Structure 1
Amino acid sequence: MIESIHPVFTWSQNRIFAGGNRKVILLVEWKGNIPAEHSRPSSYKVVAREIELRVWLEPHVTFKRSYGCEFEVGEGRSLLLKLGKIKTGQRKFIALEFNISTTIAGRYEALSLQWKYKKPTVERVQELPVKVLELEYTHHTQVLSETCCFHVEKHLELLKTAETIEEATTLQNEGQHSQAHEMLCRHADKLLLLAVRSGDPLLLKEAEMLYKQIGFEYQKRGKTATGN
């Protein structure tokens, strides 16, 4: 049976230093079915709805927060993520942040995950097999200098954009314009730096969008101050 969604999981780091608590990010990507050749984007249809992802945590893993989605805490150290719908050929991303506690070196199961969804015209729930993700713990200090996987870092910063804009808007509504301006500039600068390092056009486009918004807000405040 051809599944309507195709998930991909990527850790920010596959190896964790065993000598202390560490933060790790899991990037979750899911895709709709590949569109037929020569089909137009306007003809893409919903292929899965009421998508849910259940995540079970092992005892050495503590959930900290999510990016790009809301979650519900369930029984047995589990989380339930309600992820809406997806269309043909569409790609969606969320990120989950965890703390990993100290343990002895070795390879251990960290998370178990299962997707559930409904097809557009069918009420019966479809289930994907449970996926178990592992992490390697090591005492080699080399891992302390290893950087975050770029694919994860890129999409994490893109996911943070909407959150940053929302927080900045709240600050602006409270009259804290300088703080809002600084928050937007800081995030735009980070996106631009990543774009320059990597040559990634999507990061550059997102940075430019933020800089334009910052300029618009500055111009609007200037007109308000002068009464024009």
Structure 2
Amino acid sequence: MIESIHPVFTWSQNRIFAGGNRNVILLVEWKGNMPSEHSRPSSYKVVAREIELRVWLEPHVTFKRSYGCEFEVGEGSSLLLKLGKIKTGQRKFIALEFNISTTIAGRYEALSLQWKYKKPTVERVQELPVKVLELEYTHHTQVLSETCCFHVEKHLELLKTAETIEEATTLQNEGQHSQAHEMLCRHADKLLLLAVRSGDPLLLKEAEMLYKQIGFEYQKRGKTATGN
């Protein structure tokens, strides 16, 4: 049977230093079925709805927070993420942050994950097989200097954009305009730096969008201050 969604999981780091607690990011990507060769974007349809991702944590893994989605705490050491629907050819991303406890060197299971969804015209729930993700613990100190996987870092910062705008809007509504301005500038600068380092056009586009919003807010405040 052809599944309607195709998930991909990527750790920010595949190896963890065994000598201390570490934070890691799991980037979760899921894609709708690819469109046929002759399909037009306007004809792309919903291929899965009421998508849910259940995540079970091993004892040495602690959930810290999510980016791009909300979650419910389930029975035992589990999380339930309700992820809505997806269309033909569409790609979506969320990120989950975990703290990994110290342990002896070796390769260990960290998470078990299972997707559930419904097809557009069918009420029966479809289930994907449970996926088990592992992490490697090592005493090699070189892992302490290893950088985050760029693919994960890129999409994590893109996911943070909506959250940053929302927090800045709250600050502006509370009259804390300087703090809101600084928050937006910091995130725009980080996106731009990543874009310059990588040459990634999507990061550059997102940075430009934020800079435009910062300029718009500055102009609006100026007009309010002068009474124009």
* Alpha-carbon distance, 1:12 to partner: 0.0
* Alpha-carbon distance, 1:76 to partner: 1.3
Identity of aligned residues (%): 98
- Return 5+ residue gaps in structure 1 as ranges: none
Aligned to 1:200: 200
Q: Deviations over 1:110-130 (max 9, x none)?
A: 000000000000000000000
Q: How many residue pairs are counted as aligned between the two chains?
A: 228
RMSD of equivalent CA atoms: 0.3
SS of residue matched to 2:6: strand
TM-score (norm 1): 1.00
Q: Deviations over 1:131-164 (max 9, x none)?
A: 0000000000000000000000000000000000
Q: Deviations over 1:17-43 (max 9, x none)?
A: 000000000000000000000311110
* Alpha-carbon distance, 1:205 to partner: 0.1
> 1: CA distance between counterparts of 2:39 and 2:133?
35
* Alpha-carbon distance, 1:177 to partner: 0.1
Q: Deviations over 1:153-198 (max 9, x none)?
A: 0000000000000000000000000000000000000000000000
Aligned to 1:120: 120
> 1: CA distance between counterparts of 2:178 and 2:80?
37
- Return 5+ residue gaps in structure 2 as ranges: none
Q: Deviations over 1:71-109 (max 9, x none)?
A: 000111000000000000000000000000000000000
> 2: CA distance between counterparts of 1:165 and 1:39?
35
TM-score (norm 2): 1.00
> 2: CA distance between counterparts of 1:177 and 1:97?
30
* Alpha-carbon distance, 1:8 to partner: 0.1
User: Which stretches of structure 1, 4 residues or longer, exceed 3 Å deviation after superposition?
Assistant: none
> 2: CA distance between counterparts of 1:41 and 1:149?
31
SS of residue matched to 2:214: helix
SS of residue matched to 1:129: coil
> 2: CA distance between counterparts of 1:214 and 1:168?
10
Aligned to 2:8: 8
> 2: CA distance between counterparts of 1:41 and 1:133?
34
